[in-house]
Amino acid sequence: MQDDAVATSILGWLCEQFPEVFQTHVMPHLTDADLRNLASLGSVPGRAIRTSSRGAAVKSRLEWFTRVPAPHARIRTRLRLARGWRRFVKALTPCITPEENLDHTRQAHHAAEMSIILNDGRLILYGPIHYKNQKSICTGYTYPGHILKREVGVYYGRHIIHQRALGELNNAVIRILSRDQTHLKALDAANVSHQILDCHWEGNLLMAYIEILDTPSGRLARDLIVDGIAVRCWARGSATPPKKRFGKIYIHEDYELITFDLEDAAGVLSLQARPLQRRYENLRPPIDVEQAIVSFNRELERDQK
């Protein structure tokens, strides 16, 4: 670490902000040379090191280092910055206790259980599933508002009203497809996991109520949610290759919304769908999933003719 100014600066900041955590979780993993480098960053790191059990081992050289101004932390390459960040995260890892992870799992389990109880044994999620006039974090494309509103309106009238707005779990297909890949405009019965019950616009966000179905993939999705793994719905669509304008890549005018698939949202704070903590007002009787899949695919085939 003594040759990595970025890592030294990060650990110096950690020492100033959380001295107890630094002494108990970080110092045991550092060499004497590392401690001398940290002491040169200021009075707080120096004091924390001198008052620790490791202070005597570095005292003679430590006093000299504390009189030397800290060197300017220059980021020479992205590799050095990444290495410093990895060491910082590794130092903090022991601070995340198993009790905290268990508490998060319990909260997720309770939220899913409440949604199931309030909705007659059916798990209902609520959250954003798309947004307009902003760059997509998944595809990198920007969806103009007039195009997305048009397609959502068509999708609502064609599928949601008729209770066949189904989607798949963890669809690995790229969401913007060229129009010659017509075989992707269909549902795979083995992967169907959820149904979009309703949706509406809130500003630029498209919000939706999502029911997790009693299918093999649906039960897998339910287990993920109960275990505290965040999920999100994201659009599967078809269009000709988009073009870049004014530094942004805009979706083409012929964009066609196919459906919304469910996937793991780990590391993505936006667009997460969470268990609904109240009764869904317009809950209809459960659908016949197989019949809904046939009806959905038949509707798409009609468009291709």
Contact in structure between 292 and 187 (CB atoms under 8 Å): no
pLDDT digits (tens, 9 = 90+) for 239-257: 887 777 777 888 889 899 9
Cα distances from 10 to residues 15, 78, 84, 164, in angstroms, run 9, 15, 7, 52
68 & 139 share domain: no
Domain count along the chain = 2
Give the pLDDT score at 197. Answer: 97
Domain hosting 127: range is 99-304
The reported pTM is 0.65
Question: Which residue from 185, 156, 161 is spatially nearest to 303, judged by alpha carbons?
Answer: 185
Give the pLDDT score at 136. Answer: 75
- Mean pLDDT throughout 162-186? 69
Q: Nearest 5°: phi and psi at 288?
A: -85, 105
123 & 88 share domain: no
Q: Nearest 5°: phi and psi at 120?
A: 55, 45
Q: What is the mean pLDDT of the chain?
A: 76
**Band of residue 107 on the pLDDT scale cut at 50, 70, 90:** confident
104 & 90 share domain: no
Six-digit token string for 282: 């317009």
145 & 171 share domain: yes
- Mean pLDDT throughout 196-223? 95
pLDDT digits (tens, 9 = 90+) for 80-98: 555 565 565 555 555 555 6
| Whether residue 16 has pLDDT greater than 60 | yes
